[in-house]
Structure 1
Amino acid sequence: MTSNGANGDNLINPADAAEGTLIGWREWVSLPGLGIEYIKAKIDTGARTSALHTFELDVAHEAGVKIARFGVHPYQRDTETVTWCDAPVVDERSVRDSGGHREWRFVIETPVRMANREWPIEITLTARDTMLFRMLVGRTAMRSIRVDPLASFLTGRPPE
């Protein structure tokens, strides 16, 4: 699958890359169902579930369905740009964060677009103010995807 080059770098064989979509440890993704055109995400195979930074999260019942309404700052270090979202709550669960703390979170399902592909994923909603990335893509969201931990933005960058 990989081979060591003369300088010890890992080289990806193009034939192996065709076996599944190859992405880096961080990528720009879109969440079209939430109206988020681009958000930088950390691809985290150690995390089970994906997470999205949200604020002013409110959950209400409409016609017997729980609806989460929340704001998202899609860009790092930018609290001026806001996308307001709403989505049905598909679950509520206890999630252990990277510090080992347990937190009760609402879960939504929405399409993610990455590497010219789109598919539905579950995302937990949480405050990620202190985290470097506004979104984390967990391993349950990775279908036929391979991650090169040494690469970034293999699927491209958003237009300026």
Structure 2
Amino acid sequence: MAARVVLGWREWLALPALGIVAIRAKVDTGARSSSLHVDSQWRFVEGGVPWAGFRIATGVRANQVIEAQGPISDEREVTDSGGNRSRRVFLRTPLVLAGLEREVEINLTDRRGMLFPMLLGRTALARAFTIDPARSFLHGKPPE
């Protein structure tokens, strides 16, 4: 079994297929799924398959807004930390973190008011990472 990479409770990661070169994420083993903040989202059909498009300001480059899209892999109810349930769109996309790339599932939601635009849940962490909750940003800052 390969050694697991140690992460802090917050890290920078990338979602390259969505055009996101760097975004701050809270690593949360208490959350099952991963969530990405979007400022707006919409749906459309491409080749008979449902897709979601969205806009996000990652905060990495001043006033840069990224517009991305991807095929919808699922849509299901998610319960947030406050106990509120909402139906969310899920996308499957490559994630790059600590030099590792893996396919993960993320849901699109409004995280406005939260300190981190991305929440990295335990299904994305499974079998690859160990968390040290006393440490932060173990894998450096985002690229300039």
Q: Tell me the TM-score normalized by structure 2.
A: 0.94
Report how many aligned residue pairs link the two structures.
142
Are the equivalent residues in 2 in contact too, given 1:75–1:134 (CA < 8 A)? no
Letter matched to residue 131 of structure 1: M
Matches within 5 A, 1:1-160: 19-75=3-59, 80-142=63-125, 143-160=127-144
Are the equivalent residues in 2 in contact too, given 1:38–1:158 (CA < 8 A)? yes
Secondary structure at 1:141 match in 2: helix
Identity, % of aligned pairs? 47
Q: Distance in 1 between matches of 2:143 and 2:69?
A: 26
Q: Highest CA radius of gyration, 1 or 2?
A: 1
Secondary structure at 2:89 match in 1: strand
Q: Distance in 2 between matches of 1:138 and 1:159?
A: 23
Are the equivalent residues in 2 in contact too, given 1:53–1:125 (CA < 8 A)? yes
Q: Which residue does the alignment assign to 1:11?
A: none
Q: Distance in 2 between matches of 1:28 and 1:21?
A: 14
Higher RCO (CA 8 Å, separation ≥ 6 residues): 2
Gaps of 5+ in 2: none
Gaps of 5+ in 1: 1-17
RMSD: 1.5
Q: Tell me the TM-score normalized by structure 1.
A: 0.84
Secondary structure at 1:132 match in 2: coil
